[in-house]
Structure 1
């Protein structure tokens, strides 16, 4: 094993990859790399009823997407918890032999009945001094010592737990299989984990795990519990209620760098954010600046709108070549890639997600002679001014009379500016109706750049169709 601190990320392959898990992984990854240590990936796959191989693959793929690569020298794994069952059971037996654990023959129902009779909650230590040996249906329980357990947490400081509030917890089930707490601790010891950085929700289990570390003859690791992620209602993010799958954000066009940057700012603010007036940082900057002692205690709001704002900034800053590569898979089959490349520089500032790109420019890729579907509200607003029909007629004449070689953004804009002076209106109003006529809507890419890409013949044709509709509407009125 390599020198330096050893951090671990230990997900269970029971579903899609949670954004909270991704943030935890990034915290461990940043610390391992900055401190010259190791990031250990351990798949806790002992829940046979819920584990599926594709979920394991999904975890590894998701980690790779956010930059946690198995090819990096700081990466180790994946290890699989299911392969260490013998070590878990052996550790339980050592605890029994040392007197730190004992067997109990009470069923779950009997534990509940006794608790009800005694007016307490949970198990009352009934079998502590009965001297039972292993047997069918008997569980092995840890003998919680008297006193207090102090968890020294890098984020929360010293957290004191009164051991009298912790019942003698089960290490081995009645069928002899190990419980999660035991397996987790034994694996951490075997893998020489020095630092456990995880979400706050695991804090209640920490005194039990610390007791196990000490009972097995080892010093506990350095603990750090970062704040949980919550939704708009300040409720913990839930798979049943919230969109939490990292893969879903990836598939809809959130960039990996944007997601990484945003997740790292949940519960922690880069020190230079205020000075720079920005939360946009490269990974190397985030890695260099991340410190557990700077993590806040308050729950962190996973704000999808803010994530999208991060993503918009990252898309805007992408080199066009990189943008074209990234967005290619989002484009429909059959689209002219050269035509899209021509309009791409003019839409990157407007996109919130890569997946938005086709919808922004689809009017450029209709079959020849096909009219765009016109938004009724946009049409009504654009045709409301009394001068709209006359202006549209002037635009058709002016654009139709241009030489093909002069069909360019600058010429198209200058031509429109010359026309709008006749009507004493601003450019924004002058281009409203031509925009709707050509694109079908009132918002989209810069109009003159789009018209240059669309071409003279198709632009004039669509404008003429709009003029015909306008005359028809006037005749009906």
Structure 2
């Protein structure tokens, strides 16, 4: 049976369940994306649960960062986010139900006794088994703290996974898992099973570092007589060196990629292809991704983080993005440029005019800001170094003066008319176009990256073009 179609008599429900101990890690963002796509593909629901039971490490700032990261990525969830900590009473209720069913027991071992038992079990090549699993509860010492432990079955554990296939573990590999600590608080594997059952989760897509947890959770499902969700454990993302992704590989939070100038749709497209494939298709719109996504496309081999590929995919989405939207998105990145540039009407007008051309030349919004710098840099600017070289000699400066007069006579300020005017001027001067273009480019852009000169003049307009040329015909050019 195709594991992704199991439970097809129910509405498909997936979930993303991060621990709020830090930012939305790039691996977590991919997990959220896969669950979101699968739910949307089937017309189901994508739910969000904050696993905040670790009160010492969970912070509101981390919760806010996760919610903000998901919102920026466009991964909208259905309903309200659920707090796992708020459901502690329900988790304890199920632990006591397992006690009544004979699948759990109270363990009165002290910490030292547990460590001695663990050492003994390790030496024997098996997992810990508490001596209280088969003892009469009546033998329990009075007023002694206890934990509630799951009575690990003596049979092998078999998990049918939509990605990993059938995975088997020997019974001796699983200890008597603590369900409730001595203070009555639930442990992770109990809470996850109860929450996923109560939220009616049908499919769990997550990293394969949870594969053993999947086996433990499968045992609890069986003990409660509950239907199990479909498990799909996806290999973790690796760095280019084949090792588990870490900070040195670029394992940053979603907000870091936003600050570097990646579009949410670009990052979504890239993450989609990290561990999932659909033939040879590399570039996806959201509609295409939702239509194509299924668990059968998930890969068994780890994906490798590749910034060059991310840049390539993001460049495609920048090229497809709405010009007005890009104009507003690029404005904050202008603050990172050499000069302070105000986001006024003139700035927006020039950005909008140039965006159809310049957006095809950038892979991030930061690069796009750099591509637009020539449009917006404040006047007058001083030419230095290589940028000043084309205007160092008197001949070039005198030619620039004659070009200023020639351009002032252009009636129609269009790309075609300006291109013709430049060619005509070079012919009149009886020089190659470089003798005209290099001094003009220096005067107009100050050495900043820019497209064809006729386009540059069109984008900045007649007055700004002539003003910049005139600036370089004054002593400031030799400052």
TM, length-normalised to structure 1: 0.85
Greater displacement, 82-91 / 243-252: 243-252
> Residue 106 of structure 2 aligns to a residue in which SS?
strand
Tell me, what secondary structure is at the counterpart of 2:80? strand
User: Which runs of 5 or more residues in structure 1 are unaligned?
Assistant: 274-278, 473-477
- Aligned-pair distance for 1:424? 6.2
Deviates further, 124-133 or 288-297: 124-133
Q: What's the offset of the Cα at 1:20?
A: 1.6
The yes-or-no answer on 1:140 pairing with 2:143 is no
Matched, 1:31 2:34: no
Deviation, 1:440, is: 2.6
Q: Which moved more, 1:202-211 or 1:242-251?
A: 242-251
Q: Would you say 1:436 and 2:447 are equivalent positions?
A: no
Show CA shifts across 1:170-203 (max 9, x none).
1111211110110000111112212111111111
Q: What SS does the aligned partner of 1:130 have?
A: coil
Q: In 2, distance between residues paired with 1:456 and 1:137? A: 83
The aligned residue for residue 364 of structure 2 is 353
Match of 2:457 among 451, 454, 458: 451
User: Structure 2 regions of 5+ residues with no counterpart?
Assistant: 1-8, 335-340
Q: Name the CA distance, whole Å, in 1 between partners of 2:27 and 2:467.
A: 49
SS of 2:375 mapped into structure 1: helix
- Relative to structure 1, is the Cα distance of residues 40 and 467 closer, same or farther in structure 2, using a 3 angstrom cutoff? closer
The one of 105, 125, 129 equivalent to 2:134 is 129
Match of 1:60 among 56, 67, 72: 67
- The correspondence of residues 157-172 of structure 1 with structure 2, limited to 5 A, is 157-172=165-180
Change over 3 Å in CA distance of 1:149–1:466 after alignment to 2: farther
The one of 470, 473, 477 equivalent to 1:464 is 473
Residue 296 of structure 1: how far off its partner (Å) = 0.9
In the other structure, the counterpart of 1:260 is 268
| Secondary structure of residue in 1 paired with 2:257 | helix
CA distance in structure 1 between the aligned counterparts of 2:120 and 2:365, rounded to whole angstroms: 62
Q: Does structure 1 retain, via aligned residues, the 8 Å contact 2:207–2:234?
A: yes
Q: Residue by residue, what CA displacement relative to the aligned partner does 1:228-272 show, whole Å, maximum 9, x if unpaired?
A: 112222222235863421122123321121111111111112236
**2:302 is aligned with 1:296:** no
Q: Counterparts of 1:373 and 1:243 in 2: how far apart (Å)?
A: 40
From 53, 67, 86, give the equivalent of 1:83. Answer: 86
User: Contact 1:13–1:56 (CA<8 Å) still a contact in 2?
Assistant: yes
Please report how far the alpha carbon of residue 208 of structure 1 lies from its aligned counterpart in structure 2 after TM superposition. 0.4
Contact 2:52 2:85 in 1 (8 A): yes
Partner of 1:394: 399
Instruction: Give RMSD over aligned pairs.
Output: 2.9
3-state secondary structure, aligned to 1:229: coil
Asked if the contact 1:396–1:463 (Cα under 8 Å) also holds between the matched residues in 2, the reply is no
Q: Say if 2:108 is the partner of 1:105.
A: yes
Classify 1:198/1:150 alpha carbon distance in 2 versus 1 (closer, same or farther; 3 Å). same
Instruction: Say if 1:5 and 1:193, in contact at 8 Å, map to a contact too.
Output: yes
**Matching of residue 319 in structure 1 with residue 322 in structure 2:** yes
Match of 1:44 in 2: 51
CA distance in 1, matches of 2:88, 2:402: 81
In the alignment, what sits opposite 1:178? 186
Alpha-carbon contact 1:105-1:137 (below 8 Å) kept: yes
Q: Do 1:432 and 1:442's aligned partners in 2 also have CA atoms closer than 8 Å?
A: no
- 1:146 is displaced (CA, Å) by 1.5
Distance in 2 of aligned mates of 1:309 and 1:24: 22
Aligned-partner SS, 1:174 = coil
Looking at structure 2, the residues matched to 215 and 435 of structure 1 have their Cα atoms a distance apart, in angstroms, of 76
- CA distance, structure 1, for counterparts of residue 43 and residue 418 of structure 2: 58
The answer to which of 88-97 and 434-443 deviates more is 434-443
Deviates more, 1:401-410 or 1:249-258: 401-410
Deviation at 1:112, TM superposition (A): 3.1
State the Cα distance separating 1:157 from its structure 2 match.
Answer: 1.1
Distance 1:293 1:108 in 2: 45
Q: Provide closer, same or farther for how the CA distance between residues 372 and 106 of structure 1 changes in structure 2, counting only shifts above 3 A.
A: farther
Does the aligned pair in 1 maintain the 2:450–2:456 contact within 8 Å? no
Within 2, Cα distance between the matches of 1:318 and 1:389?
Answer: 45
Mapped to 1, the partners of 2:465 and 2:39 lie a distance apart of 58
| Partner SS for 1:343 | helix
Task: Output the CA distance in 2 between the equivalents of 1:113 and 1:289.
Answer: 53
Q: Is the 8 A contact 2:238 2:245 kept in 1?
A: yes
Structure 2 vs 1, CA of residues 217 and 3 (structure 1 numbering), >3 Å: closer, same or farther?
A: closer
SS at match of 2:163: coil
- The residue that corresponds to 2:6 in the other structure is none
Q: Secondary structure at the match of 2:205?
A: strand
Q: Are 1:149 and 1:207, in contact at CA under 8 Å, matched by a contact in 2?
A: yes
Any idea what the Cα deviations from partners look like across 1:80-109, whole Å, max 9, x if unmatched?
111211111111112122221222233444
The 8 Å contact of residues 363 and 372 in structure 1, kept in 2 or not, is answered as no
Change (3 A) 1:160 1:400: same
| Matched pairs, number | 453
Give a deviation string over 1:275-329, Cα, whole Å, max 9, x none: xxxx212111111111211211111112222212111111112232333343345
Aligned equivalent of 1:343: 354
Q: Distance in 2 between matches of 1:60 and 1:222?
A: 26
| Shift in alpha-carbon separation, 1:117–1:206, aligned structure 2, 3 A | closer
Aligned 8 A contact 1:399 1:412 in 2 = no
Structure 1 residues 113 and 358: CA distance shift in structure 2, 3 A? same
Work out which of the residue numbers 14, 18, 42 in structure 1 matches 2:25: 18
User: What does residue 228 of structure 1 align with?
Assistant: 236
